[in-house]
Amino acid sequence: DQQVKQNSPSLSVQEGRISILNCDYTNSMFDYFLWYKKYPAEGPTFLISISSIKDKNEDGRFTVFLNKSAKHLSLHIVPSQPGDSAVYFCAANTGTASKLTFGTGTRLQVTL
Amino acid sequence: ETGVTQSPTHLIKTRGQQVTLRCSSQSGHNTVSWYQQALGQGPQFIFQYYREEENGRGNFPPRFSGLQFPNYSSELNVNALELDDSALYLCASSLTSRRGDEQFFGPGTRLTVL
């Protein structure tokens, strides 16, 4: 049972435009959400997070939006840069534990 | 400051064999989590070690076991390997086991079971 879903396996965006990556979850106990970025041959690196008490968190070019009623979150990257080309994972956890439940990932390609 | 390292990088085993994967946590971190990432999937939580004790386990059979040493490095052991165990195994270290502490991932060990 996939509790965190990323329904778009891949996304291609032109440099300078906005990239929007989506994530849906089914477990209503999740109350903390994270995005990780992964380059080939490297481990995932933390990008940005959001608590369920917020609906938006911004860090530079990266903004995460959370819609609790729809159990949906999205990551916006503006403007997109070629170095953003990577696989992006949405992850969630619940309570005080740090165990992460990941989605299947979306491969973002930023073209020139 | 040295990041999270894992060894070996790649490994090929045959069904029924046993394997040990190693992880050195980032300096000052006392918590290590292990994840399995099968092809085309996201990482799945195997278990976590905090101060040498298991601190949570995912939906993996007992043939997946681990250890954490006094220097907080860790091992993942898998007995009686199956073809489906072929995956990238990631370890992540964090300052503590609290969820607000960022998890820093190593580059992973690619295990192939033939």
What pLDDT digit, counting tens, does each position of B3-49 carry? 999 999 999 999 999 999 999 999 889 999 999 999 999 999 999 99
Cβ separation B43–A93 shorter than 8 A: no
Which 8-state DSSP code applies to residue A68?
A: T
Structural tokens at position A15: 């440099």
Report the SS3 class of residue A83: helix
Nearest CA among A73, A88, A59 for reference residue A30: A73
The answer to whether B45 touches A100, Cβ cutoff 8 Å, is yes
The answer to whether B48 touches B32, Cβ cutoff 8 Å, is yes
Whether A93 has its CB under 8 Å from any CB of chain B: the answer is yes
| Residues of chain A contacting residue B108, judged by C-beta atoms under 8 Å apart | 43
Q: pLDDT (tens digit, 0 to 9) for every residue of chain A, 112 residues total?
A: 789 999 999 999 999 999 999 999 999 999 999 999 999 989 999 999 999 999 999 999 999 999 999 999 999 999 999 999 999 999 999 877 789 999 999 999 999 9
